[in-house]
Amino acid sequence: MRSAPQDTIRGGIDRIAGRALEAFGRLTGNRSAVAKGKAARGRGAGRSAKGRLARRGR
């Protein structure tokens, strides 16, 4: 189990990486990369939310 700040930071990194992967996929026409980028953005949003909730729960 990660700490709340770690989840928040890793979530932000996932969102940024997902956006980059999605843009790369759109640029190259790779639909798989676009889908993986969207999934990474969703995973990052969830992880960030988890970190924020954990911080409030203290």
How many domains in the chain? Answer: 1
Confidence check: pLDDT of 55 > 90: no
Confidence check: pLDDT of 49 > 80: yes
22-48: per-residue pLDDT in tens? 999 999 999 999 999 999 999 999 999
The residues, ordered by sequence, that sit 6+ positions from 47 with a Cβ below 8 Å of its Cβ are 7, 8, 10, 11, 14
Angle (CA) 37 39 40, round 5°: 65
Question: Which residue range forms the structural domain that includes residue 30?
Answer: 4-56
